Amino acid sequence: MGLYINQKGKWLGGQPNAKKGEMVVHTVRKTWFDIRYYYANMIDYFRVLMGVVALAVIIQAPEYKYTIASLIFGNVLLDWVDGPVARAYNQSSVMGCGWDWFGDILAQYDLAIWCVSEKSPIALFVVLFTAVEIGCGLFDFAISATSVYPEQHDEGKHPFFIVERWLTPGGTYNKLGTTCWLVNTLYPIAVLLDWNTHVIYTMAILAYLYAWHEVCQFIFIVECWTETTASFGAGIQFTRKCNDEERAALSETFNTCQRLMNITEVPVEGGPREIHWTNLYCDSQFHAQKDNIPSFPAMEKFVQNIIAENYEVDDPRHILSYGYIIGPKNGTTNQIWHHDYAAGVSNIMIPMTQDTTNNATQFVRLPGGPAKSFQDDENTPYRVDQNQSYPPPHEMFAREETSHMEVTQVISEPFSILKLMPNVIHRGIANREDYDRVLFFLSTSKASRIPDIGETTYSKVDERGNVLPNPEPAATIQVTLTVKAAAGAQVKSRGNKSKK
């Protein structure tokens, strides 16, 4: 069965009526009939059955308290094994996650109904906790289904979250956390079965500790929620097409640069065959020819507007560089796989010529899942060097514990605005078309400045066709452009103006 996602995040059946430039993902997915006999799913079917039977006994034969208790606690114990079984047999699935949460919610629902029907003194606590648990379950399933996982939160950001450090340091349950999870179910059972008072009081401490943890988890999920607007886990997202005014600014600026800096006027024979670029703004410096480009003010306005349009209001962006990338026709050299600059860097890319499979940017996607992003820490041992470079995808298999990866392209019409998500591993490929590929780029970061981002502006070639670095600009303006992404936000340029 073919399932697709269009640029608005809508699922489509069969062949979609996709337009050029839309972010459409086609993945052949398994149906329930393909995965119904997965071992973990069969465990969860049994858990759901136990929950239904327990509810029936609570309503029809409440005197069988130990039967009810055994069914509910048995359900919880099986929740301990379904995940490891799914991973052991490579049978993890979104449907399995749904069955797992269905079983969890039924167990908690049974406890709440049982406590209310028996008029237990802790009925209010159990009902309130059930509401929180159901909320966590629904949101957690949505996260699993969309692969939009929030980053691990900082447990120390507020004293209220200190319980996370006690039960789930590093995001994983420790022994105390696991004990609290089990006792959370046993505590109401112990009260309903009239166990020893000292045992009940001891369990109460651990149960309330776990309830505290679940409230923190609920707050965390809601606080860090991220909506998807295009393809789930997309490495490059289509946002919209440029309007006529924007096209004119991009084209006029490039044509002027071409005339002033010879960025593409090179001999066909012996010309550069590697991807090269010219920066209009880079590392707090405008290009020396800025004052000779009449359309430059329109370009600055466009850059500021496009940032405000593509980033959230609580995600202030700082401009690192913008300019043009040129992929010479009949190119021979691919870029190495890399991410740009540092963590949190995101690019806006606007192809000004036709993108095809012979020249469009490639990025790495994990099989059937999100685009591959780097982790800026010691957990990325295959980093080639400190310049954000990576080996080919087939050399990442062992580290990613997979036997295959997807190398993906987004093909778009000229003047489509594409957003490269932060930290995605990607590369430009040699342009095998018979025309130069021209692309406008805009790099932004959460950090106000990244020291020595290492950009070299290419604008000339020697007599042998080798690309030469651009000479030192004759005049620069030291500025920092900080753009807050609010619709219609006021964007200000501040800094020390100086001339050399």
Comparing CA positions, the residue from 291, 171, 150 lying closest to residue 221 is 150
Tell me: pLDDT of 338 over 60.
yes
Segment 349-374 mean pLDDT? 77
- pLDDT higher for 275 or 288? 275
Mean pLDDT, range 168-191, rounded to an integer: 92
Q: Which of 436, 457, 469 is nearest to 328 (CA)?
A: 436
Q: What is the pLDDT of residue 330?
A: 87
- Give me the CATH number covering residue 187: 1.20.120
Stretch 261-269: mean pLDDT = 44
Domain contains 75: yes
- Phi, psi dihedral angles at 256 (to 5 degrees): -65, -45
Would residue 339 count as lying in a domain?
yes
Separation CA 249–CA 245 (nearest Å): 6
**Residue 81 pLDDT level (bands cut at 50, 70, 90):** very high
The mean-pLDDT minimum among 168-172, 315-319, 429-433 falls in 315-319
Residues 115 and 263 in one domain: no
CA torsion 442-375-220-419 (nearest 10°) is 20
Instruction: Give the model's pLDDT for residue 487.
Output: 28
Residue 181 and residue 257 in one domain: no
Give the end of a domain, one of 223, 255, 272: 223
Q: Write down which residue in 201, 223, 245 finishes a domain.
A: 223
**DSSP secondary structure letters along 312-377:** -TT--EEEEEEEEEEE-TT---PPPEE--SSTT-EEEEEESS---TTTS-EEEE-TTSPBPB--SS
For residue 410, give its domain range. Answer: 236-494
At 493, list the tokens. 């340029």
Residue 157: its pLDDT value, please? 63
Question: Is the domain of 160 the same as that of 288?
Answer: no
Report the distance separating Cα 273 and Cα 332, nearest Å: 6
Give kind and range of the element (H or E) at residue 3: strand 2-5
CA–CA gap between residue 326 and residue 343 (Å, rounded): 25
pLDDT band at 223 (very low <50, low <70, confident <90, very high): confident
Pair of tokens at residue 236 = 């490059």
Mean pLDDT of the chain: 75
Residues contacting residue 450 through CB under 8 Å, at least 6 positions apart? 320, 341, 342, 345
- pLDDT surpassing 50 at residue 233: no
Say yes or no: 315 and 430 in one domain: yes
pLDDT of residue 389: 67
What CATH number corresponds to the domain at position 336?
2.60.120.620
In angstroms, the CA 428 to CA 335 distance is: 5
Distance (Å, whole) CA 178 – CA 175: 5
pLDDT reported for residue 298: 92
Q: CA 488, CA 474: separation in Å to the nearest integer?
A: 35
Same domain, 290 and 432: yes
Mean pLDDT to the nearest integer, 236-260: 89
pLDDT at residue 193, rounded to an integer: 96
230 falls within a domain: no
Residue at which a domain ends, from 223, 244, 265: 223
What mean pLDDT do residues 339-365 have? Answer: 86
What is the rounded distance in angstroms from the CA atom of residue 224 to the CA atom of residue 340? Answer: 24
Domain shared by 218 and 157, yes or no: yes
Same domain, 201 and 250: no
The proportion of the chain whose per-residue pLDDT surpasses 90, expressed as a percent, equals 36
How large is the average pLDDT for residues 189-208? 96
Residue 74's pLDDT is 96
Do 395 and 252 fall within a single domain? yes
Residue of higher predicted confidence among 414 and 155: 414
Among the ranges given (169-178, 210-219, 287-296, 378-387), the one the predictor scored with the smallest mean pLDDT: 378-387
302-331, pLDDT tens digit by residue? 998 888 888 766 667 788 889 999 898 888
CA atoms within 13 A on the CB side of 486: 8
pLDDT tens string 125-139: 999 999 999 998 888
Query: What pLDDT was estimated at residue 388?
Result: 57
Q: Note whether 311 and 347 are within 8 A (CB).
A: no
> Averaged over 87-103, what is the pLDDT?
88
Beta bridge partners of 458: 469
Q: Residue 491: which pLDDT band, with cuts at 50, 70 and 90?
A: very low
Most confident of 92-101, 180-189, 393-402: 180-189
Give, in order, the Cα–Cα distances in Å from 443 to each of 20, 222, 390.
24, 29, 20
Interatomic CA distance for residues 72 and 292, integer angstroms: 76
Q: Is 146 a domain residue?
A: yes
Average pLDDT on 276-280 reads: 82
The reply to whether 28 falls in a domain is no
Structural domain contains residue 15:
no
Nearest to 404 by CA among 372, 358, 440: 372
Q: Is residue 69 part of a domain?
A: yes
Residue type at 241 in one-letter notation = K
pLDDT at residue 336 is higher than 70: yes
Q: Into how many domains does the chain fold?
A: 2
What pLDDT does 465 receive?
39
Kindly tell me if the per-residue pLDDT of 467 is higher than 90.
Answer: no
Q: Which of 22, 46, 403, 58 is nearest to 239 (CA)?
A: 22
Q: Is there a single domain that holds both residue 218 and residue 242?
A: no
Give, as one character, the DSSP assignment of residue 435: S
pLDDT at 84 over 50: yes
Q: Averaged over 134-147, what is the pLDDT?
A: 79
Find tokens 């009939």 and name the residue: 33
Choice among 153-162, 242-251, 277-286 with the minimum mean pLDDT: 153-162
CA neighbor of 10 nearest in space, from 222, 228, 239 = 228
Shared domain for 174 and 144, answered yes or no, is yes
- Domain identity same for 214 and 351: no
The band of 25, judged by pLDDT with boundaries at 50, 70 and 90, is very low
207 and 251 share one domain: no
For residue 2, tell me if it sits in a domain.
no
